[in-house]
Amino acid sequence: MWIEQIPDCLRRLLPQVLWRGDKTRKVLYLTFDDGPFDEGTPWLLDELDRLQIKGTFFCIGKNVEAHPELYHEIIARGHRVGLHGYEHRRGLYKDEAAFEADCACVAALIDSDLYRPPHGKLKRKQFKAMSQRYRVVLWDVITRDYNPKLAPEKVCRIATRYARNGSIIVFHDSAKSMRNMRYAMPRAVAYWKEQGYQFETL
């Protein structure tokens, strides 16, 4: 559980971060990290259209550089975008100059007030600094779809078990997560709709 849903006692260490939306409403926020990439993003966009859901895509700068047409298609389809680093390296292990350079590179490519640190990890000083520039978003549920050791059915169970009012849920728009995400996301959405949940962007 400590992986899928971080306990409140740890969340309180970073009060400036958005972990969860409105707890009083049956609304979920689907987020997709790491894209865009040509083998998965087109399928994901078509599937979200089919499901009639808008999500929030936290994009990696170098992937936007490599696939600008897919980045613009995400926006054209009515989804929100956010920054997810230029090279997807942990800020925790970067000196301040390297971290600022990475931030400048991704900010030049992605126009958004949303930021999700790669791997969800920054130094506390970096969290504070980024919170002054952006709405820093982590998550209420991480599906672990990135883990090839997990069966797709397990990923789906994680998503449906831990989601609750206001959950910000992480899936991944990446090659290593495609098998799990393609299976789990549509099935989880069908379950959530049966439970009366609505879906919004951040």
Phi, psi for residue 16 in degrees, rounded to 5: -80, -5
Look up the pTM and report it: 0.96
Give the active site residue among 33, 34, 145, 173.
33
The count of residues in the chain is 202
Cα angle for residues 181, 187, 200 (degrees, 5° grid): 80
Q: Which domains does the chain have, with CATH numbers?
A: 16-199 (3.20.20.370)
Residues of the chain with pLDDT > 90, as a percent, come to 87
Q: Active site includes 33?
A: yes
* Residue 186: cis peptide before it, omega within 30 degrees of 0: no
Measured torsion, CA atoms of residues 51, 76, 19, 165, in degrees rounded to the nearest 10 = -30
Among 34, 102, 172, 173, the one annotated catalytic: 172
Of 89-93, 124-128, 135-139, 168-172, least confident by mean pLDDT is: 89-93
Is residue 91's pLDDT more than 90? no
* pLDDT at position 124: 85
31 Rama sector, left if φ>0, alpha if ψ -120 to 50, beta otherwise: beta
Percent of the chain with pLDDT over 70: 97
Task: Report how far residue 110's alpha carbon sits from residue 156's, in angstroms, rounded to the nearest whole number.
Answer: 30
Q: What is the tens place of the pLDDT at every residue in 25-63?
A: 999 999 999 999 999 999 999 999 999 999 999 999 999
172 is catalytic: yes
Closest of 166, 195, 168 to residue 55, by C-alpha: 168
Confidence of residue 152 (pLDDT cuts 50, 70, 90): very high
R_g (Cα) of the chain, nearest Å: 16
- The span from the CA of 130 to the CA of 127, in Å, is 5
User: What is the end-to-end Cα distance of the chain in Å, rounded?
Assistant: 24
Per-residue pLDDT for 125 more than 90?
no
Are 154 and 183 in contact, with CB atoms under 8 Å apart?
no
C-beta neighbour count of 135 within 10 angstroms? 16
Contact 80, 57 (CB under 8 A): yes
Per DSSP, the three-state class of 62 is helix
Q: How far apart are CA 14 and CA 132, in angstroms?
A: 13
| Of 22, 23, 30, residue with least CA distance to 52 | 30
